Chain A
């Protein structure tokens, strides 16, 4: 029989047993016993962030880039509420994360004690599951169960709220065996008869398209490999959501680029004209479908998803396969081969795709006097892609330009806030990714507005000597807001100008970063080189064309075939129906 130990020590022991090597956190009154336990051990590295929201995004960046769950430790009350944005972000983007929150002692719960908040109540609907631990006896098992739930099935955030007295009180801890949960049994293995049906539908299709998403990234690097094989043997074109970029290489011949609101002309037209859509680990999000009643009207649809509730949520499908998308694709490839299906003659389909490609929808006006933001992203790609860097972003125009113009060849290299669209995600996510990948180049492609939302994390990167690079596309506007105001509100720029900006070079220097400003197209390449040459964190303030807009674009309320291209007239007013859409 092992000796009794404190709840705080049980927590550390369980985390060690689960292979946790880094925690992102911020101390406070209700977690002092846990911080004392951290002080007394050496196995887990604690990263002190400067704001709890950043801890959650850093954990997301760590998780997304390594495939391991991110772990967060914050105090009660404001510590927990500050973490809510990142927890919600992880839920929307299916990121495995375990958040440990301190809580006031059990006898004080409900008394409006100092720094008390109803953390399990507040996080009930932004977590995959959450726990309030009432006794140290239950703590060990709950921590193991929480990791199981966070990482299995459709991954997501799990909160464990631990009252301070439970951290201090003692109990015995024993590493539990394999978890056999009473009610939580995600379906991993797909039904093989459905896979067979899917294979026959693909083999019979004349205009198929593989519509891939973040589920493939979550399924692991093997899933990205098998996707390439599936695309090769079927000859079908491949498009991807924002979250799925990198699963199929941008240099691959079947690649159509991203689809959806800011997707390519060829990807969206192919979705519209296809006779078969094979949705692999994506969820028919509203950024993807555009106007629902006009979404891909002529196609049959197969949906592979590990989460049954994603099926038929917005788009009715003809065949639904619940299970891990990597395993499903593996089974499909096997059955395709065993049935000796040959690649169908899709030349007529590809010919149409080539016609759409000829539109060159990602082209943008060149300028000799101003840095075009798209050109800046392409220059960044040209200078860094051989290093296979990890790119994070904030949210807005720069994010879409990065998605469009930075070509990804492998999974886990693209970290962005897709579902929730959280400004301030990129810098902490880059910090988390750099910790998980110490020898990889990590760049946060940012906007001047978003970067200010977690700018305090410059200190965190410096403290832990993380050579993160921030590349700000500075157009002095909340550009996406301004773009929508042009499209929808006759260019009435209500509060979208980034006034009173700091000097980002001096700001970086104040935090011990190197600061670089790039103002002219001629200095772009040298500025990027200077950023890469510096062995340490660098913030680049790249002044770009102020009024450039992000195209192509499917305006809200429009269908895939109503895309706006770069040379379309922009400013105008929209109907109330369109104004009501996000």
Chain B
């Protein structure tokens, strides 16, 4: 017998929650308990009274699984609202990454040239290295890292995806 797997799609969810101890464990734990995937998860307070956090989750699964992920998130007591931005339609996704590149001579020049193409900023430099700050959608960041790895990639830190629907309405 072999275990079958079904094809899956990628969805970006926006979840607003009450800021309370254990909320992240509750959400992350629900994903692991039910066998759902988390590709990226970001969380930060978005209210002026420290009461509400916005969590952006990128998850993958079959359409039926994604529907369940949304419903299961929604039934957690501290969850205010779950929005599937991928279903909602047009939205923007951004990610920030810090990328450390080491090298000498032409490598440095090429790194700076590429950084310029990607509109990445240099936030730290030594004689032998740069730390670039690059923002964009995940594909752009993947590409930047890929190129830098040919030059002298040392280290990567990514913030995870944040996302928002286009247009004037709030989710």
Interface residues of A (CB under 8 A from B): 120-121, 124-125, 128-129, 132, 149, 181-184, 307-309, 311-313, 316, 575-577, 580
| Cβ-defined contact, B77 with A313, below 8 A | no
Return 8 A-B CB contacts under 8 Å, by A number: A124-B29, A149-B77, A183-B78, A183-B79, A184-B77, A309-B71, A309-B72, A313-B71
Given contacts A312-B64, A576-B1, contact A183 B75 (CB under 8 A): no
A577 to B1, CA, bound (A): 7
Partner of A183 from B21, B26, B30, B80 at Cβ < 8 Å: B80
Given contacts A124-B26, A576-B1, contact A182 B68 (CB under 8 A): no
- Contact (Cβ within 8 A) B71 A124: no
Q: What's the Cα separation between A316 and B62 when bound, in Å?
A: 14
* Nearest 7 Cβ contacts at the A-B interface: A309-B71, A576-B1, A129-B77, A183-B80, A184-B77, A125-B33, A308-B71
A132 and B21 within 8 A (CB): yes
Inter-subunit contact B77/A125 (CB<8 Å): no
B121 at the interface (CB under 8 A from A): no
**Which residues from A are CB-within-8-Å of B21?**
132
Contact A183 B29, beta carbon cutoff 8 Å: no
Q: Which of A120, A121, A128, A307 contacts B77 (CB 8 A)?
A: A128
In the complex formed, the residue of B with least CB distance to A577 is: B1
Closest to A128 in B: B77
User: How many Å lie between the Cα of A311 and that of B26 in the bound state?
Assistant: 22
CB contacts under 8 Å to A, within B67-93, are: 67-68, 71-72, 74-75, 77-80
Taken together as a complex, chains A and B put the C-alpha atoms of A120 and B64 apart, in Å, by 30
Chain B, Cβ-Cβ closest to A185: B80
* In the complex, B99 has a CB within 8 A of chain A: no
Is B18 engaged at the interface, CB distance under 8 Å to the other chain?
yes
Q: Which of A308, A313, A316, A580 contacts B1 (CB 8 A)?
A: A580
Known A309-B74, A576-B1: A124·B25 in contact at CB below 8 Å: yes
Q: How many residues of B contact A (CB 8 A)?
A: 21
- Complex CA gap A213/B42 in Å reads 39
C-alpha spacing A106/B85, complex, angstroms:
40
Q: A308 with B75: in contact, given A124-B25, A125-B33, A183-B17 (CB under 8 Å)?
A: yes
Tell me how far the C-beta of A544 lies from the nearest C-beta in chain B, rounded to whole angstroms.
Answer: 36
**Which B residues fall within an 8 A CB radius of A?**
1, 17-18, 21-22, 25-26, 29-30, 33, 64, 67-68, 71-72, 74-75, 77-80
Of chain B, the residue at the smallest CB distance from A579 is B1
B30 contacts across to A, CB distance below 8 A:
125
Distance (Å) between the CB of A367 and the closest chain B CB? 40
User: Complex formed: what's the CA distance from A118 to B30 in Å?
Assistant: 17
Inter-chain CA distance A580–B1, complex, in Å, is 9
* Least CB distance, B6 to chain A, in whole angstroms: 13
Contact A308 B74 (CB under 8 A): yes
Q: Which residues of A contact B29 (CB under 8 A)?
A: 124-125
- A313 contacts B68, C-beta separation under 8 Å: yes
B162 to chain A, nearest CB (A): 21
CA distance A183 to B52 in the complex (A): 11
Q: Which A residues lie within 8 Å of B17 (CB)?
A: 183
The smallest beta-carbon distance between A110 and chain B, in angstroms, is 12
| Chain A: CB-nearest residue to B74 | A308
By beta carbon, the residue of chain A nearest B72 is: A309
Counting chain B CB atoms within 10 Å of each CB, the highest count among A128, A132, A308, A311 belongs to A308
Q: A120-B22, A184-B77 are in contact. Are A309 and B68 (CB under 8 A)?
A: yes
| Beyond known contacts A132-B21, A149-B77, A309-B74: 18 more, CB 8 A cutoff | A121-B25, A124-B22, A125-B29, A125-B33, A128-B77, A132-B22, A183-B17, A183-B78, A183-B79, A183-B80, A308-B75, A309-B68, A309-B71, A309-B72, A312-B64, A312-B68, A576-B1, A577-B1
A493–B120 Cα distance when bound, in Å, is: 68
Distance between Cα atoms of A88 and B33 in the complex (Å) = 13
What's the nearest-Cβ distance from chain B to residue A424, in Å?
Answer: 24
Q: How far is the CA of A129 from the CA of B75 in the complex (A)?
A: 10
A315 to B55, CA, bound (A): 29
Which of chain A's residues have a CB closer than 8 A to the CB of B1? 575-577, 580
Complex Cα gap A575–B72 (Å): 33
Given contact pairs A124-B29, A576-B1, A183 touches B18 in the complex (Cβ within 8 A) = yes
Beta-carbon contact of B75 and A307 below 8 Å: yes
Q: A213 CB to closest chain B CB, in angstroms?
A: 18
Report yes or no: A311 in contact with B77, Cβ–Cβ below 8 A. no
Beta-carbon contact of A182 and B80 below 8 Å: yes
Q: What separation, in Å, do the CA atoms of A454 and B85 have in the docked complex? A: 50
Per the bound structure, the CA–CA distance linking A255 and B1 in Å amounts to: 40
A155 nearest CB across to chain B (Å): 13
